[in-house]
Amino acid sequence: MRLEIYRDKQKWDGMVEIAQLLVEASPDTPKHWIDLAWGQRRAIDLQTAEKTLKEALGRFPYEAVIHYNLACYSCVSGRIDEGKAQLETALRLDPNLKATALDDEDLIGVW
């Protein structure tokens, strides 16, 4: 609950702190890793968030949101071809993400 309050209030440092505790307490929950990277992107930097998600990808290779967020990070970093490949994987795993992807400013280079 506290993590969502921090997200809503855009208190990124607090979000990172709570998400890190959740990852340590329950490393087999993909959402905790995704939340940690979300906060890191805003509180620290994109590279730190990307590193977290790449580690998470090794644990959860079939988690579509991890592929999706990595696609966003790749595109924002100018690695459009890599972003396209990651987005294709995300959409193959969860076709429902396409509606979100079409409106995501991070993915403008893909379309």
The tokens describing 76, both together, are 């924002």
The pLDDT value recorded for residue 59 is 97
The pLDDT value recorded for residue 110 is 87
Query: CB–CB of 68/30 below 8 Å?
Result: no
CB atoms inside a 10 Å sphere around CB 24:
10
The tokens describing 106, both together, are 């991070």
Q: How far apart are CA 57 and CA 53, in angstroms?
A: 6
List helix spans (H) across the chain.
2-9, 12-25, 30-43, 46-59, 64-76, 80-93, 97-103
Quote the pTM value.
0.92
Per-residue pLDDT of the chain (111 residues; tens, 9 = 90+): 888 999 899 999 999 999 999 999 999 999 999 999 999 999 999 999 999 999 999 999 999 999 999 999 999 999 999 999 999 999 999 999 999 999 999 998 887
The pLDDT value recorded for residue 111 is 79
Q: How far apart are CA 31 and CA 56, in angstroms?
A: 10
